[in-house]
Structure 1
Amino acid sequence: MEIIIIETKTVPTIKVVQNGKTIYLHSKYNPMNEVYSWVENFVKIMKTNENILIIGLGAGYHIKQIALACKNQKVNVIEFNDEFYSWFIKSIFYESLSTLENVCLLSFSRLSVNEKERLFSSYSSTNIKIHKSGMDLIPEKYVPLQSLLKDLQYQQLTIDHQIDSLIENFDKNTLLNDVGIGKLRDDYRGRPMILASAGPSLTKQLPLLKEIKEEGLITIGAVGTAIKPMLKSEIIPDFFMISDPNKATLSQLVDVNIPEAKLFYLSTAFYETVLLHQGERYILYQHGFGEAENRAKKRNEPLIKTGGSVATSLLDTMIWLGAKSVALVGQDLAYTHGQSHAKGAHLQKIVNVTSNQLQVDNYDKNGLVNTSKNLTIYRKWLELYAQEHSDLSLYNCTEGGAYIENWNHIPLFKYKEIIK
């Protein structure tokens, strides 16, 4: 590894040449502009009463700015590359951090086994921030961990790009003074449930789903995108959820009139879409958004794990409500037969397959199916959720799409028989 200090028009940056690859740990032109934006977005969503974990030393500028902005919080910094860590603590960049009392620099390899195992679980997801240098310099021996970090980084970048919308929606949604789901728990405790998503395989399940709805023995919850395909088959769910903070969700409920169905919406969901529903509305507060967590505590409401998608959010909601069992329908997590969504869903389109398309095991585990990065993250979340809640009865009845580890894979008609 060759480490070179490069001058810019503001402060020096660091160039690393490793395995024939050149990496700049900060901007080659204006490192501080990059840092200010990075820190500003982080401070907006983090919890102010918990410690902070930063992945990646870089040149230390980002660390110093966070430490100064959060003087009452401890800032722990993990570097995975031993060689770079040893160079850094002897460099000029270390000096500006050494006087900061709330900063602690750590080399991952020098942590104990227990410390490594507890590393991420010791922090709220909002208080973990991954710097590009932390990913660029991670050694090959940490590839499994790198995959986890990439997923977390992807989710954080998504939040960073939407932070202003999240805050605006939260402010407007809370002004509605809608109640939370706290009072509903006894209404659904012990009920078998179906979670209907809008994946391509939903289309073939609609006839049976209609029968199940008419029998009334199973509670049906749906994501917003699945509403229009379900209504075309005369299926009105017991409740449905929206979570996306963007205006695009409006088309999910335009010309939809189902006052008999309850609307569950995340506190940061697009507020104009929330207003379209003429029936009962319930606001949900989510883990990972500081203002939502504070408000939930004040109102004695539960916190929902989002998992990054409306379906994962709805699953955790169902479990909190006390579902006896949950069956997934239309949760393809893949582009089954080259389709993005079920017929009639507002986002439905044909997906052009490319040579570098990501592929995973299909539902029957007898072949592969095309998918994407974000769908893979949701699938991993569902797999981990089932692993961590081994006492739950969780079934994948999608009958298409991707295989979801740790879930029971059975046809929908068998789930219908099981719960009788």
Structure 2
Amino acid sequence: MNTLYTLMDTLRSIIHTSETAITDIRKQHFWKTAFHIKELIFYFTQLFNNCSTLLNQQSISLLNSYLGKMLDAQNIPDYVLLGDILDLELLPCLYELQASVLAELEFPYENYFSQNTQALKQSGKAGEQLCRLLETHDFSNPDKTVYQPEPSGIGAFTLKKNFSGGSIYFHSNKNPWMEGYHFAESYAEEGIFHYAIIGLGLGYHALFMFLKDRRYRITVLEPDLNIIGLAMQMVDFSYALTEERFQIIYSPSLSELDSLVKESDCKVLIHYPTMQSMENHAVKNVLTEYFLQMSSVEEQLQSLSENFYYNIRRNDLPADSLKSRISGKPVVYLGGGPGSETHLPEIIKYKELHPDTITICAGKIYRMLLSQNFVPDYVIITDAKPSLAWQLRDLPQTAAELLYLSTASNSAVDTFCGKKYIFFQKDFAESEDFAKEHSLLLFETGGSVSTAAIDFALRMGCSTLITTGLDLAYPEKKSHAFGISGNISDTHHYISEKDIHGNKILTTATFLSYRKWIEKRLIKSGIECINLTDGLAIKGMKNLEHLDYSSI
């Protein structure tokens, strides 16, 4: 092998090990740090023994001085200093050296296709079938206008996929190895040993999950054979493919996903860039729905638990106690969409005709409704983020009362002036346990304040449910009622659907997932539901542009 390639490989290993060490130092994982320093000494020894003729004396002296500083800091021990030496001195020098090496090499630098396909052949029947597909497909010169491999800062490949009007990067342009490391650190879960990953990309995230724990079994589903072919060329999978616990499956429709989701001991993970680059909108929408649910829980778990801890200590009445007040009465829900502004006069007239109507609004538009001299009976909030408090801050106390999810922002609940009721949700263990212990109802949230409000109204036994501001789209490119947010301008990542009039309207995969949830929830309701909107139609509801007062 050309010694320049050896130098590139060695520098790549030193860079990645240094960045991993920095991460562990910041976490105060010093046992791991000591192991990484031993690795660095080994790689530096390789560098000086095998590649010194390719480095100038100034570079060798500089690297030696950094190595000495690192060992001195470790001996003190001063791990803060050690991390800074790695981060502020060694890494910039290494990246500069690697850039100069890469400039002298012909791109692409490596091709692992032969050894990877050989490993596939030895991995069993499924591997042999995939190998035959790969060997009969021409990957020698993929369409560069669509798939564009690029070198990253450490010399490993990244991949860009171009499509009409834009492009998607699958991996970091700086250090895709580190990105894979963080993926594994983020999603590995105690007691779970089977991980199904949707999306291969070039495989760094899958390989680092494989390396994370020798007990882990990794199943990768990839719908694009071109991606698998490029990955087989650019990344060495041979050490993983020869083990039974690592498998890559070519699955154009991701048909295996349903069975994997149902496996109690399997955690399904989604490689986000793969999902974003999909051209099959039906599959993409399903994955987006799942990813939103998964990431929401993963990212907010600490906030959810913290909010729950403080919220239950308020000893507010449970929302269950409102059933006698709401049961048998019409409920109007005003969401944050543009329809709440457009149709507010109709809602006011409806309430005049039906004085027993219960009105519930999303927290986001409460302030604006007050500015229109409309006071709802209830304001509902579900979001865990502290920033939610702005919706309710500096508002006068009115007759409106607050409905808040047990995990809703504690600071927002604090901010509200008025009576408050707490409700408990399914699929959050602490909430389920508390509700069971106190014989309370459990509500389905559906992932948004509007879906939670719908479930609440139905579970309370309303006679009729009327919704507005539940547009689930962008009528006239408006995102919210009352100018809360501006109009959308960049429409590239939006989905075109038909509104209730049959005209094209922009929406998102998130909105479509909410619609699907609502439609499923309404099947078992048996309650008349009316959606007053200029946006998407919802099955199970009468979708109207205007209220017909004579019939309701």
Task: Provide TM-score, normalisation by structure 1.
Answer: 0.72
Alignment of 1:167-206 (within 5 A): 167-178=305-316, 180-185=318-323, 188-206=326-344
Q: Could you tell me whether the CA contact under 8 Å between 1:259 and 1:279 is conserved in 2?
A: no
Aligned to 2:143: 19
Match for residue 398 of structure 1 among 509, 524, 532: 532
* Residue 93 (str. 1) matches residue 237 (str. 2): yes
Tell me the CA shift for residue 34 of structure 1: 1.8
Aligned to 1:328: 467
Aligned to 1:285: 425
Gaps of 5+ in 1: 1-5
Aligned partner letter, 1:129: L
Aligned to 1:245: 384
Tell me the CA shift for residue 241 of structure 1: 1.1
How many angstroms apart in 1 are the aligned matches of 2:192 and 2:542? Answer: 40
Q: Could you tell me whether the CA contact under 8 Å between 1:250 and 1:272 is conserved in 2?
A: yes
Aligned partner letter, 1:382: R
How many angstroms apart in 2 are the aligned matches of 1:321 and 1:226? Answer: 23
Tell me the CA shift for residue 37 of structure 1: 3.1
Relative distance call for 1:366 and 1:280 in structure 2 (3 A) is same
Aligned to 1:310: 449
Relative distance call for 1:32 and 1:49 in structure 2 (3 A) is closer
How many angstroms apart in 2 are the aligned matches of 1:70 and 1:299? Answer: 40
Alignment of 1:187-226 (within 5 A): 188-214=326-352, 215-226=354-365
Where 1:148 maps in the other structure, the secondary structure is helix
Deviations along 1:111-159, one digit per CA (max 9) or x if unpaired, are 8x7x56x3476269x9432024744786x6x553133324544665666
Aligned to 2:268: 128
Aligned to 2:487: 351
Where 1:240 maps in the other structure, the secondary structure is strand
Tell me the CA shift for residue 85 of structure 1: 6.0
Match for residue 30 of structure 1 among 175, 184, 197: 175
Relative distance call for 1:361 and 1:144 in structure 2 (3 A) is closer
Tell me the CA shift for residue 224 of structure 1: 0.7
* Residue 256 (str. 1) matches residue 389 (str. 2): no
Q: Could you tell me whether the CA contact under 8 Å between 2:451 and 2:518 is conserved in 1?
A: no
Q: Identity percentage over the alignment?
A: 22
Aligned to 2:404: 265
How many angstroms apart in 2 are the aligned matches of 1:171 and 1:98? Answer: 48
How many angstroms apart in 1 are the aligned matches of 2:411 and 2:474? Answer: 30
Q: Could you tell me whether the CA contact under 8 Å between 1:78 and 1:105 is conserved in 2?
A: yes
Aligned partner letter, 1:409: N
Deviations along 1:34-65, one digit per CA (max 9) or x if unpaired, are 2343344435xx79689754213456654466
Match for residue 16 of structure 2 among 10, 25, 31: 10
Aligned to 1:3: none
Where 1:225 maps in the other structure, the secondary structure is helix
How many angstroms apart in 1 are the aligned matches of 2:451 and 2:406? Answer: 15
How many angstroms apart in 2 are the aligned matches of 1:217 and 1:47? Answer: 51
* Residue 144 (str. 1) matches residue 282 (str. 2): yes
Deviations along 1:279-323, one digit per CA (max 9) or x if unpaired, are 022143353x56555655665555544344211222223233334
Relative distance call for 1:81 and 1:205 in structure 2 (3 A) is closer
How many angstroms apart in 2 are the aligned matches of 1:132 and 1:205? Answer: 37
Alignment of 1:47-126 (within 5 A): 52-57=195-200, 62-63=205-206, 76-81=219-224, 93=237, 95-96=239-240, 106-108=249-251, 118-119=258-259, 122=262
Tell me the CA shift for residue 225 of structure 1: 1.6
Deviations along 1:315-349, one digit per CA (max 9) or x if unpaired, are 22323333444221122334444544333xxx624
How many angstroms apart in 1 are the aligned matches of 2:249 and 2:439? Answer: 37
Tell me the CA shift for residue 196 of structure 1: 0.9
Aligned partner letter, 2:449: V
Q: When the two structures are aligned, how many residues end up with a matched partner?
A: 397
**Which range moved further: 190-199 or 300-309?**
300-309
Q: Could you tell me whether the CA contact under 8 Å between 1:296 and 1:303 is conserved in 2?
A: yes
* Residue 381 (str. 1) matches residue 509 (str. 2): no
Aligned partner letter, 2:514: W
Gaps of 5+ in 2: 1-7, 18-109, 114-138, 150-157, 159-169
**Which range moved further: 264-273 or 358-367?**
358-367
Q: Could you tell me whether the CA contact under 8 Å between 1:193 and 1:324 is conserved in 2?
A: yes
Tell me the CA shift for residue 272 of structure 1: 1.0
CA-based RMSD:
4.6
How many angstroms apart in 2 are the aligned matches of 1:218 and 1:50? Answer: 52
Tell me the CA shift for residue 253 of structure 1: 1.4
**Which range moved further: 128-137 or 153-162?**
153-162
Structure of greater relative contact order (alpha carbons < 8 Å, 6+ residues apart): 1
How many angstroms apart in 2 are the aligned matches of 1:36 and 1:172? Answer: 34
Relative distance call for 1:273 and 1:14 in structure 2 (3 A) is farther
Higher helix share: 2
